[in-house]
Amino acid sequence: MEIKVYGSGCKKCVSLADNAKAAVEDLGVDAEIEKVEDMAEIAQAGIMSTPGLGINGDVKVKGRVPNADEIKELIEAEL
């Protein structure tokens, strides 16, 4: 599974990455978390308000920081 955290590195983006990491560890799934900081790539993914969360190429959340439980549900839906 491929998980992407989109954001330029502000505090919200860091907490989203932390929550995603916690969710992956809790579920014990095999997933790689990639941080996307390049603005062009962020925009290309269709994200106008950061941070954003992508799972397997789909943007699931943008403009807010979901907690670990919500991310777990999103990951489980993809399994």
Q: Which residues are at the interface with other proteins (CB under 8 A)?
A: 7-10, 12-13, 39-40, 42-50, 59, 62-64
Q: Is the peptide bond before 66 cis (omega within 30 degrees of 0)?
A: no
Closest to other proteins by CB, 9 vs 25, is 9
CB 11 within 8 Å of CB 51: no
User: Catalytic: 56?
Assistant: no
Residue 3 or 65 having the CB closest to other proteins: 65
Identify the three-state secondary structure at position 53.
Answer: strand
Asked if residue 35 lies in contact with residue 5, where contact means CB atoms within 8 angstroms, the answer is yes
Catalytic member of 13, 16, 55, 61? 13
Residues labelled as active-site residues: 10, 13
